[in-house]
Structure 1
């Protein structure tokens, strides 16, 4: 089974992962023990999202970053994750991060938390997220990176078919730069690096941030 198909179809694994992530005690303990990561950074990152921005959240998992906001489009390849996210929002979409069903320059913001290290081609995913960003829009996320004391655990996850090739902090910067993004900020914590980057704005900044109705994206 390919890495993509595993994350798309596995139910028990997805449910167990989401349960741990949603539980504040387990997520804090797991992040610290497994990845030497202070998960407070992730929660602060999520809290800093602009609720008025039309936002694409992929992979949304069980909806950690999702609220009852019709301008926040939660997408994932896994039906199990979308079913769990349904508890928090009805604005859901099953989508492939490599081929997003949106026109270029659709979203004010894209967020991708703890997902890139699970992908076979994270650089292609970043490029596709950059494509659907409007000029001046922001990409925000986190990913597990190689080059820390947790490399043996990363290799174990790769052997089990749970992680893709992952990347180093330098690779993350390269993915963002190659996608045409600027104003890159990387915030490493243990084996996890947070990142923000911006699609360069248009010469006419008055056109940025024009409010459009969110795309129709509901799971029936």
Structure 2
């Protein structure tokens, strides 16, 4: 287990601080602009699109973190919603957040993305701000794609390098603190998505944060 994974598993002031930041819009907007040169309104727009797709769907949210997505999907009715995370600390925060929302059929599970047992079970997989903390992001994308039914959609976001020296310095800072694992450029992200048997790939960068979407090949 890597140092990064260990820190996220047990929880630290920095990891819990991230959870607090992302759940408070004004703070999240300021932080992501200063740290990554990113307009975080892009994330809220992405969640609005997710909200229109979730009713009646089977949804996998990995890593679900502290449940930051839940509030934005409150009142929706997925057929199944699995929030998976490697971190018991994050799942404890997610459980508290779930109590505030009214997402139906929600299940929280402690699971490493690489050992997920899911095979062609979900219509939608969400993976926001997680790949840059994973020791094997290419394998993670492959596991998420495997969990999707043909025609299912993977969408999420991740931090990238190569978007500017200032952004890269902040990435390096979080790596030195053991919060980020290896972080890759946009081209690598596209290659992971293509290698995972996904098509209709889009990658939209806002500063150092990339928002991506791709569809599992084939149709039911």
Answer whether contact 2:8 2:89 (CA < 8 A) is retained.
no
For normalisation by structure 1, the TM-score amounts to 0.87
Deviation at 1:26, TM superposition (A): 0.5
Q: How does 1:66-85 map to 2 (within 5 A)?
A: 66=70, 67-68=73-74, 69=77, 71-85=80-94
The structure richer in helix per residue is 2
Q: Distance in 2 between matches of 1:175 and 1:113?
A: 16
Q: 1:200 to 1:48 in 2, by over 3 A?
A: same
| Alignment equivalent of 1:93, drawn from 109, 112, 120 | 109
Answer whether contact 1:130 1:180 (CA < 8 A) is retained.
yes
Paired residue for 2:198?
181
Paired residue for 1:51?
54
| Alignment equivalent of 1:157, drawn from 138, 154, 174 | 174
Paired residue for 1:170?
187
Paired residue for 2:134?
119
Q: Distance in 1 between matches of 2:59 and 2:15?
A: 23
Deviates more, 1:193-202 or 1:148-157: 148-157
Deviation at 1:88, TM superposition (A): 3.4
Matched, 1:144 2:159: yes
How many equivalent pairs are there? 202
Deviates more, 1:6-15 or 1:116-125: 6-15
For normalisation by structure 2, the TM-score amounts to 0.87
Answer whether contact 1:14 1:80 (CA < 8 A) is retained.
no
Answer whether contact 1:145 1:166 (CA < 8 A) is retained.
yes
Q: Distance in 2 between matches of 1:193 and 1:116?
A: 11
Deviation at 1:171, TM superposition (A): 0.7
Q: Distance in 2 between matches of 1:14 and 1:33?
A: 18
Q: Distance in 2 between matches of 1:188 and 1:174?
A: 16
Deviation at 1:156, TM superposition (A): 1.8
Give the ranges of 4+ consecutive aligned residues of structure 1 lying more than 6 Å apart after TM superposition: none
Answer whether contact 1:107 1:133 (CA < 8 A) is retained.
yes
Unaligned regions of 5+ residues in structure 2, if any? 99-105
Q: Distance in 1 between matches of 2:161 and 2:117?
A: 31
RMSD: 1.4
